[in-house]
Structure 1
Amino acid sequence: MDLRCVVAIVRPELLKTLEGRLAIAHVHGLTVTRVKGFGVHPNPFSNDCTTEHIKIEVFVQSERVDALVQEIVDAARGTSGDDGIVAVLPVERFFRVRTASEAAP
């Protein structure tokens, strides 16, 4: 099975909307991490140029990547003004801790 890891860094207020859209799209596993950083445009209104974002990671079969990326981009564009990034990474191996065996998600 060919897997990918889709990583998105978006504004925190997008999380509830994105969770709902991904559930409708039958994505049933994601990891969310609070992160700080800045991209092309640091925050000029603060002594700390970083801003808070969330990082979402989803392991998905390669044939579902395009649909997942489109859901994330559509949700982010509608609520956060095109802020954020989405990256797609290859997954060489995937293990389930509970069974201690290599598996598909």
Structure 2
Amino acid sequence: MELKCVVAIVRPGILEVLERRLSAVHIHGLTVTRVKGFGAHPNLFSDDWTTEHIKIEVFTHSESVDALVQEIMDVAKGVSGEDGIVAVLPVEHFFRVRTASEAAP
């Protein structure tokens, strides 16, 4: 089974809604990190050009990627306008620390 890592950088306000929507499409695990940064449109009127975002990482089977990305895009667009990015990365190996063995998520 092929694994992918979906990474999204979006506004913090979408997290609660996104968690509910992901549960509905059977995605039950994610990692969230608070990050700061700027993209194509930095806040040039501030001393600090960066803005607060969250980085969401989800490891999933390749057949779940399309539904996962669509949910992230729908929620992000609906809650925070057209702000954020989503990337899909291949996963070469996936290890569980508890069992010290390679496994599927």
CA shift, 1:52, in A, is: 0.5
Whichever residue aligns with residue 37 of structure 1, its letter is G
| Cα deviation 1:22-54 (Å, max 9, x = unaligned) | 111110110000000000000133210000000
List structure 1 segments (4+ residues) > 2 angstroms apart after TM superposition: none
| Whole-Å separation in 2 of the counterparts to 1:73 and 1:99 | 34
Whichever residue aligns with residue 38 of structure 2, its letter is F
Number of residue equivalences: 105
Task: For structure 2, list consecutive stretches of 5 or more residues without a partner in the other structure.
Answer: none
TM-score (norm 2): 0.98
| Cα deviation 1:52-100 (Å, max 9, x = unaligned) | 0000000000011011000000000101111000000000000001111
Aligned partner of residue 18 in structure 1, secondary structure: helix
TM-score (norm 1): 0.98
Root-mean-square deviation (Å):
0.6
Aligned partner of residue 58 in structure 1, secondary structure: strand
Whichever residue aligns with residue 42 of structure 2, its letter is P
Identity %: 77
| Whole-Å separation in 2 of the counterparts to 1:45 and 1:28 | 40
Aligned partner of residue 71 in structure 1, secondary structure: helix
